[in-house]
């Protein structure tokens, strides 16, 4: 039960303390906070640290900083847990499983309502993907465009957003570092072929085929990754993120 220690950065701690003061009502809405220099003294930190903490609160919309005048409380509670500093929490394996379940269903749905312009969107992404197998970032962007493009065929903004967010979860430094060990033209080409299979099934209105193709694609992605994963990291746990078994994510 030790506190996770965590060694949080100082300005975060300072921001938390001020946040608590505001939430508890100790600092009423509309009231002016103590001057930066006074806050620094009260919190036993330097003024730059206080400034950084206040900027955090300002971005969160809790306070309003008026130069020359002071800092004023705007509202009591952070509007929402934007949770931008939240870690992925989930491991790569869980992420791929979730994508398999969700994106299969989306592909199935898309096959039932595919229109020419939607298919054209997929084709455009495929073309960009095949044209830049040597440019990692370009291929990655095209990969993302393909997956969100399927959601776009359904014409549902929520699906597009959710699909994109799940894709982006592998953009963390941790995943990126792992990916750099195995991403290459060959794996991208395999992924591209699987993409084409999905595209064709959707274009043909074959719901079951699209679902199966998407499942195959994500399963193969996992396989591709876990193979090179085993080479580079023989079972070691690199960081604390991946809870259970740490398999991998791969090109999708």
Partner DNA sequence: TGCATTTAATTGGTCAGGCCAGTTGACCAG
Partner DNA sequence: CTGGTCAACTGGCCTGACCAATTAAATGCA
Report how far residue 235's alpha carbon sits from residue 114's, in angstroms, rounded to the nearest whole number: 43
Q: In degrees, to the nearest 5, what angle opens at C-alpha 163 toward C-alphas 94 and 115?
A: 135
As beta bridge partners, residue 63 has 73
**Of 161, 186, 230, 238, the one binding a second copy by CB under 8 A:** 161
Query: Interface with DNA by CB under 7 A: which residues?
Result: 7, 9-11, 33, 35-38, 44-49, 51-52, 54, 65-71
The one of DNA, a second copy, none whose footprint includes residue 120, by CB under 5 to 8 A per kind, is none
Q: Which residue has the tokens 């929402």?
A: 80
List all residues 6 or more positions away from 127 whose beta carbon is below 8 Å from its beta carbon.
none
The one of a second copy, DNA, none whose footprint includes residue 24, by CB under 5 to 8 A per kind, is none
**Of 18, 60, 194, 250, the one binding a second copy by CB under 8 A:** 60
Report how far residue 234's alpha carbon sits from residue 63's, in angstroms, rounded to the nearest whole number: 49
Instruction: Please classify residue 159 by burial: count the beta carbons closer than 10 Å to its beta carbon, then call 0-12 exposed, 13-18 middle and 19+ buried.
Output: buried
The H helix count followed by the E strand count for the chain is 10, 2
Helix (H) or strand (E) holding 214: helix 207-232
**Count of positions (residues) in the chain:** 252
Site residues for a second copy, 71-110, by CB under 8 A, read: 72-75, 78-85, 89-91, 94-95, 97-99, 101-102, 104-106, 109
The one of DNA, a second copy, none whose footprint includes residue 154, by CB under 5 to 8 A per kind, is a second copy
- Decide if residue 5 touches a second copy (CB under 8 A): no
- Which residues are near a second copy by CB under 8 A? 9, 11, 25, 28-31, 48, 51-52, 55-56, 58-61, 64, 66-67, 69, 72-75, 78-85, 89-91, 94-95, 97-99, 101-102, 104-106, 109, 137, 140-141, 154, 156-159, 161-162, 165-166, 168-169, 171-173, 176, 179, 243
């Amino acid at each position: 039960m030790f506190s996770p220690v965590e060694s949080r950065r100082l300005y975060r701690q300072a921001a938390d303390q001020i946040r608590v003061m505001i939430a508890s009502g100790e600092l009423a809405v509309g009231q002016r906070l103590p001057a930066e220099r006074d806050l620094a003294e009260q919190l036993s930190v330097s003024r730059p640290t206080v400034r950084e903490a206040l900027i955090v609160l300002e971005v969160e919309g809790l306070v309003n900083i008026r130069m020359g005048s002071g800092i004023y409380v705007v509202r009591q509670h952070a509007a929402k847990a934007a949770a931008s500093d939240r870690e992925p929490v989930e491991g790569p394996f869980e992420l791929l499983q979730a994508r398999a379940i969700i994106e299969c269903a989306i592909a199935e749905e898309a096959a039932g309502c595919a229109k020419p312009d939607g298919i054209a969107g997929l084709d455009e992404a495929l073309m960009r993907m095949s044209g830049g197998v040597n440019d990692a970032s370009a291929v990655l962007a095209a990969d993302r465009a393909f997956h969100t493009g399927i959601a776009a065929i359904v014409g549902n903004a929520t699906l597009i957003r959710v699909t994109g967010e799940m894709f982006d979860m592998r953009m963390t430094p941790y995943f990126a570092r792992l990916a750099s060990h195995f991403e290459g033209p060959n794996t991208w080409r395999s992924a591209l072929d699987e993409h084409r299979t999905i595209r064709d099934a959707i274009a043909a209105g074959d719901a079951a085929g699209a679902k199966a193709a998407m499942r195959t694609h994500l399963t193969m992605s996992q396989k591709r990754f876990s193979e090179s994963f085993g080479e580079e990291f023989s079972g070691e746990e690199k960081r604390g993120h991946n809870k259970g078994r740490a398999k991998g994510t791969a090109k999708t």
